[in-house]
Protein backbone atom coordinates (compact mmCIF):
# COMPACT_ATOMS: atom_id res chain seq x y z
CA UNK A 1 0.00 0.00 0.00
CA UNK A 2 1.28 3.45 -0.91
CA UNK A 3 2.66 5.65 1.87
CA UNK A 4 3.02 9.45 2.00
CA UNK A 5 6.79 9.07 1.72
CA UNK A 6 6.31 7.52 -1.73
CA UNK A 7 4.54 10.66 -2.92
CA UNK A 8 7.16 12.88 -1.28
CA UNK A 9 9.92 11.01 -3.11
CA UNK A 10 8.18 11.60 -6.44
CA UNK A 11 7.60 15.24 -5.58
CA UNK A 12 11.28 15.78 -4.88
CA UNK A 13 12.47 13.95 -8.02
CA UNK A 14 14.30 16.45 -10.25
CA UNK A 15 14.68 14.65 -13.57
CA UNK A 16 11.52 15.24 -15.64
CA UNK A 17 11.49 11.81 -17.28
CA UNK A 18 11.96 10.04 -13.95
CA UNK A 19 9.31 12.22 -12.26
CA UNK A 20 6.85 11.31 -15.00
CA UNK A 21 7.65 7.60 -14.64
CA UNK A 22 7.30 7.43 -10.86
CA UNK A 23 4.16 9.58 -10.93
CA UNK A 24 2.44 7.12 -13.23
CA UNK A 25 3.56 4.27 -10.97
CA UNK A 26 1.99 6.06 -8.00
CA UNK A 27 -1.26 6.45 -9.89
CA UNK A 28 -1.28 2.71 -10.60
CA UNK A 29 -0.69 1.89 -6.91
CA UNK A 30 -3.28 1.54 -4.15
CA UNK A 31 -3.83 4.97 -2.55
CA UNK A 32 -6.65 3.92 -0.23
CA UNK A 33 -4.42 3.94 2.85
CA UNK A 34 -3.61 7.62 2.44
CA UNK A 35 -6.88 8.61 4.11
CA UNK A 36 -5.74 7.02 7.36
CA UNK A 37 -2.36 8.76 7.36
CA UNK A 38 -1.84 10.87 10.44
CA UNK A 39 -0.05 14.18 10.82
CA UNK A 40 0.50 16.94 8.33
CA UNK A 41 2.65 16.77 5.24
CA UNK A 42 5.99 18.48 5.64
CA UNK A 43 6.05 21.79 3.80
CA UNK A 44 7.71 21.55 0.39
CA UNK A 45 8.74 25.13 -0.50
CA UNK A 46 10.58 24.01 -3.67
CA UNK A 47 9.77 20.66 -5.28
CA UNK A 48 12.24 18.70 -7.34
CA UNK A 49 12.90 20.22 -10.74
CA UNK A 50 15.79 20.32 -13.21
CA UNK A 51 18.41 23.08 -13.23
CA UNK A 52 16.92 24.39 -16.43
CA UNK A 53 14.76 26.20 -17.47
CA UNK A 54 15.96 29.40 -15.88
CA UNK A 55 13.10 30.97 -13.92
CA UNK A 56 12.56 34.66 -14.61
CA UNK A 57 9.87 37.25 -13.99
CA UNK A 58 6.85 36.65 -16.25
CA UNK A 59 7.54 39.91 -18.08
CA UNK A 60 10.99 38.59 -19.05
CA UNK A 61 9.72 35.42 -20.74
CA UNK A 62 10.31 35.79 -24.47
CA UNK A 63 7.26 36.11 -26.72
CA UNK A 64 7.72 34.79 -30.26
CA UNK A 65 5.37 34.65 -33.21
CA UNK A 66 4.01 31.28 -34.27
CA UNK A 67 5.04 31.77 -37.88
CA UNK A 68 8.48 30.28 -37.18
CA UNK A 69 9.40 26.86 -35.80
CA UNK A 70 11.28 28.57 -32.97
CA UNK A 71 8.18 30.56 -32.09
CA UNK A 72 6.01 27.46 -32.00
CA UNK A 73 8.65 25.66 -29.95
CA UNK A 74 8.62 28.54 -27.45
CA UNK A 75 4.84 28.20 -27.07
CA UNK A 76 5.05 24.43 -26.66
CA UNK A 77 7.83 24.88 -24.10
CA UNK A 78 5.69 27.32 -22.12
CA UNK A 79 2.85 24.80 -21.96
CA UNK A 80 5.26 21.98 -21.13
CA UNK A 81 6.48 24.07 -18.20
CA UNK A 82 2.91 24.49 -17.00
CA UNK A 83 2.36 20.74 -17.25
CA UNK A 84 5.57 19.99 -15.36
CA UNK A 85 4.47 22.32 -12.58
CA UNK A 86 1.04 20.69 -12.64
CA UNK A 87 2.66 17.31 -11.90
CA UNK A 88 4.20 18.85 -8.79
CA UNK A 89 0.92 20.52 -7.86
CA UNK A 90 -0.94 17.23 -8.11
CA UNK A 91 1.65 15.38 -6.05
CA UNK A 92 1.76 18.17 -3.46
CA UNK A 93 -2.03 18.17 -3.08
CA UNK A 94 -1.92 14.42 -2.46
CA UNK A 95 1.02 14.62 -0.05
CA UNK A 96 0.32 17.75 1.94
CA UNK A 97 -3.27 17.30 3.09
CA UNK A 98 -3.95 14.30 5.31
CA UNK A 99 -7.15 12.68 6.49
CA UNK A 100 -9.11 13.26 3.30
CA UNK A 101 -11.25 10.50 1.73
CA UNK A 102 -9.41 7.89 -0.32
CA UNK A 103 -11.11 9.26 -3.46
CA UNK A 104 -9.31 12.58 -2.94
CA UNK A 105 -5.88 10.96 -3.23
CA UNK A 106 -6.99 8.86 -6.19
CA UNK A 107 -8.20 12.03 -7.95
CA UNK A 108 -4.99 13.99 -7.42
CA UNK A 109 -2.67 11.14 -8.35
CA UNK A 110 -4.76 10.57 -11.48
CA UNK A 111 -4.44 14.25 -12.32
CA UNK A 112 -0.66 14.18 -11.78
CA UNK A 113 -0.37 11.13 -14.03
CA UNK A 114 -2.35 12.90 -16.76
CA UNK A 115 -0.08 15.92 -16.50
CA UNK A 116 2.96 13.67 -16.81
CA UNK A 117 1.58 12.30 -20.09
CA UNK A 118 0.90 15.83 -21.31
CA UNK A 119 4.46 16.85 -20.46
CA UNK A 120 5.88 13.85 -22.31
CA UNK A 121 3.78 14.61 -25.42
CA UNK A 122 4.89 18.23 -25.44
CA UNK A 123 8.56 17.45 -24.82
CA UNK A 124 8.47 14.91 -27.66
CA UNK A 125 6.97 17.57 -29.91
CA UNK A 126 9.69 20.00 -28.83
CA UNK A 127 12.27 17.49 -30.05
CA UNK A 128 10.70 17.67 -33.51
CA UNK A 129 11.80 21.32 -33.58
CA UNK A 130 15.27 20.56 -32.20
CA UNK A 131 14.59 21.67 -28.63
CA UNK A 132 13.97 20.09 -25.24
CA UNK A 133 12.48 21.19 -21.94
CA UNK A 134 14.78 23.76 -20.38
CA UNK A 135 15.89 25.43 -23.62
CA UNK A 136 13.67 28.51 -23.03
CA UNK A 137 13.25 30.64 -19.92
CA UNK A 138 10.10 30.19 -17.83
CA UNK A 139 8.45 31.68 -14.73
CA UNK A 140 7.38 30.24 -11.38
CA UNK A 141 3.88 31.66 -10.99
CA UNK A 142 2.13 28.31 -10.61
CA UNK A 143 4.29 27.12 -7.75
CA UNK A 144 4.14 30.53 -6.08
CA UNK A 145 0.37 30.07 -5.80
CA UNK A 146 0.91 26.60 -4.36
CA UNK A 147 2.98 28.16 -1.57
CA UNK A 148 0.37 30.85 -0.92
CA UNK A 149 -2.39 28.26 -0.58
CA UNK A 150 -0.41 25.61 1.31
CA UNK A 151 -2.04 26.40 4.65
CA UNK A 152 -5.59 25.39 3.69
CA UNK A 153 -6.78 22.69 1.27
CA UNK A 154 -10.02 24.58 0.64
CA UNK A 155 -8.08 27.61 -0.57
CA UNK A 156 -5.82 25.38 -2.67
CA UNK A 157 -8.80 23.70 -4.33
CA UNK A 158 -10.40 27.07 -5.09
CA UNK A 159 -7.41 28.85 -6.55
CA UNK A 160 -5.14 26.31 -8.23
CA UNK A 161 -7.42 24.00 -10.24
CA UNK A 162 -10.38 26.42 -10.45
CA UNK A 163 -8.33 29.46 -11.46
CA UNK A 164 -4.89 28.54 -12.76
CA UNK A 165 -5.90 25.27 -14.45
CA UNK A 166 -9.19 26.78 -15.58
CA UNK A 167 -7.21 29.52 -17.30
CA UNK A 168 -5.99 26.84 -19.67
CA UNK A 169 -9.59 26.14 -20.64
CA UNK A 170 -9.96 29.81 -21.59
CA UNK A 171 -6.78 30.35 -23.60
CA UNK A 172 -6.11 26.98 -25.26
CA UNK A 173 -8.84 27.28 -27.94
CA UNK A 174 -7.20 30.48 -29.18
CA UNK A 175 -3.79 28.80 -29.31
CA UNK A 176 -5.29 25.89 -31.24
CA UNK A 177 -6.80 28.27 -33.77
CA UNK A 178 -3.46 30.06 -34.30
CA UNK A 179 -1.63 26.76 -34.73
CA UNK A 180 -4.20 25.69 -37.30
CA UNK A 181 -3.63 28.93 -39.20
CA UNK A 182 0.08 28.13 -39.57
CA UNK A 183 -0.62 24.50 -40.48
CA UNK A 184 0.89 22.88 -37.38
CA UNK A 185 -1.59 20.03 -37.17
CA UNK A 186 0.69 17.83 -35.05
CA UNK A 187 0.76 20.42 -32.28
CA UNK A 188 -2.98 21.05 -32.70
CA UNK A 189 -3.73 17.39 -31.96
CA UNK A 190 -1.71 17.55 -28.73
CA UNK A 191 -3.34 20.79 -27.57
CA UNK A 192 -6.80 19.44 -28.32
CA UNK A 193 -6.14 16.34 -26.24
CA UNK A 194 -4.80 18.43 -23.36
CA UNK A 195 -7.82 20.74 -23.47
CA UNK A 196 -10.23 17.79 -23.33
CA UNK A 197 -8.41 16.22 -20.39
CA UNK A 198 -8.02 19.44 -18.41
CA UNK A 199 -11.79 19.81 -17.95
CA UNK A 200 -11.94 16.87 -15.48
CA UNK A 201 -8.96 18.32 -13.63
CA UNK A 202 -10.83 21.55 -13.00
CA UNK A 203 -13.87 19.52 -11.98
CA UNK A 204 -11.73 17.73 -9.37
CA UNK A 205 -10.98 21.13 -7.86
CA UNK A 206 -14.66 22.09 -7.93
CA UNK A 207 -15.73 18.89 -6.21
CA UNK A 208 -13.20 19.03 -3.38
CA UNK A 209 -13.55 22.78 -2.90
CA UNK A 210 -17.26 22.32 -2.25
CA UNK A 211 -16.59 19.27 -0.08
CA UNK A 212 -14.32 21.39 2.14
CA UNK A 213 -16.39 24.60 2.13
CA UNK A 214 -19.79 23.26 3.10
CA UNK A 215 -18.87 21.72 6.52
CA UNK A 216 -17.48 25.14 7.47
CA UNK A 217 -20.89 26.67 6.82
CA UNK A 218 -19.54 28.54 3.80
CA UNK A 219 -21.47 29.07 0.58
CA UNK A 220 -19.10 27.80 -2.14
CA UNK A 221 -20.18 30.35 -4.75
CA UNK A 222 -19.63 33.46 -2.64
CA UNK A 223 -16.56 31.99 -0.94
CA UNK A 224 -14.87 31.38 -4.29
CA UNK A 225 -15.11 35.04 -5.25
CA UNK A 226 -14.08 36.20 -1.78
CA UNK A 227 -10.91 34.12 -2.20
CA UNK A 228 -10.35 35.54 -5.68
CA UNK A 229 -10.51 39.03 -4.21
CA UNK A 230 -8.26 38.19 -1.27
CA UNK A 231 -5.52 36.32 -3.13
CA UNK A 232 -5.73 37.27 -6.80
CA UNK A 233 -7.06 40.82 -7.08
CA UNK A 234 -10.38 39.55 -8.38
CA UNK A 235 -8.96 36.87 -10.65
CA UNK A 236 -7.89 36.85 -14.29
CA UNK A 237 -9.91 38.74 -16.90
CA UNK A 238 -12.00 37.13 -19.61
CA UNK A 239 -12.99 36.07 -22.10
CA UNK A 240 -13.86 32.77 -20.42
CA UNK A 241 -14.57 29.40 -21.94
CA UNK A 242 -17.96 29.17 -20.29
CA UNK A 243 -18.93 25.88 -21.91
CA UNK A 244 -15.81 24.17 -20.58
CA UNK A 245 -16.25 25.76 -17.16
CA UNK A 246 -19.81 24.43 -17.02
CA UNK A 247 -18.47 20.97 -17.86
CA UNK A 248 -16.06 21.44 -14.95
CA UNK A 249 -19.10 22.05 -12.70
CA UNK A 250 -18.87 25.80 -12.24
CA UNK A 251 -22.33 26.78 -11.00
CA UNK A 252 -24.58 29.15 -12.90
CA UNK A 253 -24.23 31.81 -10.14
CA UNK A 254 -20.45 31.54 -10.60
CA UNK A 255 -20.76 31.84 -14.38
CA UNK A 256 -22.99 34.89 -13.95
CA UNK A 257 -20.55 36.54 -11.52
CA UNK A 258 -17.56 35.86 -13.77
CA UNK A 259 -19.41 37.37 -16.73
CA UNK A 260 -20.55 40.40 -14.73
CA UNK A 261 -17.10 41.07 -13.35
CA UNK A 262 -15.53 40.87 -16.79
CA UNK A 263 -18.13 43.23 -18.21
CA UNK A 264 -17.36 45.63 -15.38
CA UNK A 265 -13.66 45.56 -16.26
CA UNK A 266 -14.50 46.33 -19.89
CA UNK A 267 -16.52 49.41 -18.89
CA UNK A 268 -13.66 50.95 -16.92
Task: Give the chain's domain count.
Answer: 1
**Looking at the domain assignment, is residue 144 inside a domain?**
yes
| pLDDT given for residue 265 in this prediction | 79
- Convert the pLDDT of each residue in 235-268 to its tens digit: 899 999 999 999 999 999 999 999 999 888 767 6
**Looking at the domain assignment, is residue 159 inside a domain?**
yes
**Looking at the domain assignment, is residue 45 inside a domain?**
no
**Looking at the domain assignment, is residue 92 inside a domain?**
yes
Angle between helices 252-267 and 220-232 (to 10 degrees): 40
| pTM beyond 0.85, yes or no | yes
**Looking at the domain assignment, is residue 41 inside a domain?**
no
- Which residues span the domain enclosing 253? 4-31+59-267
DSSP string, 165-207: IHHHHHHHHHHHHHHHHTT-HHHHHHHHHHHHHHHHHHHHHHH
| pLDDT given for residue 60 in this prediction | 82
Which parts of the chain register pLDDT below 50?
A: none
- Convert the pLDDT of each residue in 34-64 to its tens digit: 766 655 655 566 899 999 999 998 888 877 7
**Looking at the domain assignment, is residue 217 inside a domain?**
yes
**Looking at the domain assignment, is residue 46 inside a domain?**
no
List, in order, residues 6 or more apart from 170 with CB less than 8 Å away: 236, 238, 239, 240, 241, 244
Amino acid sequence: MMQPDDIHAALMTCDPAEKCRVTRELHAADSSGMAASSGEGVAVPVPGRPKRPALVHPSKVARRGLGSETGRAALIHAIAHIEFNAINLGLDAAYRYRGMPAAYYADWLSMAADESRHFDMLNTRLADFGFTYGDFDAHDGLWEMAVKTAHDPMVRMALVPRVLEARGLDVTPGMIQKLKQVGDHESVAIFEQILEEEVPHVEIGTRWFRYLAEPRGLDPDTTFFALLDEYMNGGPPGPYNLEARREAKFSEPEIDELTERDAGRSRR
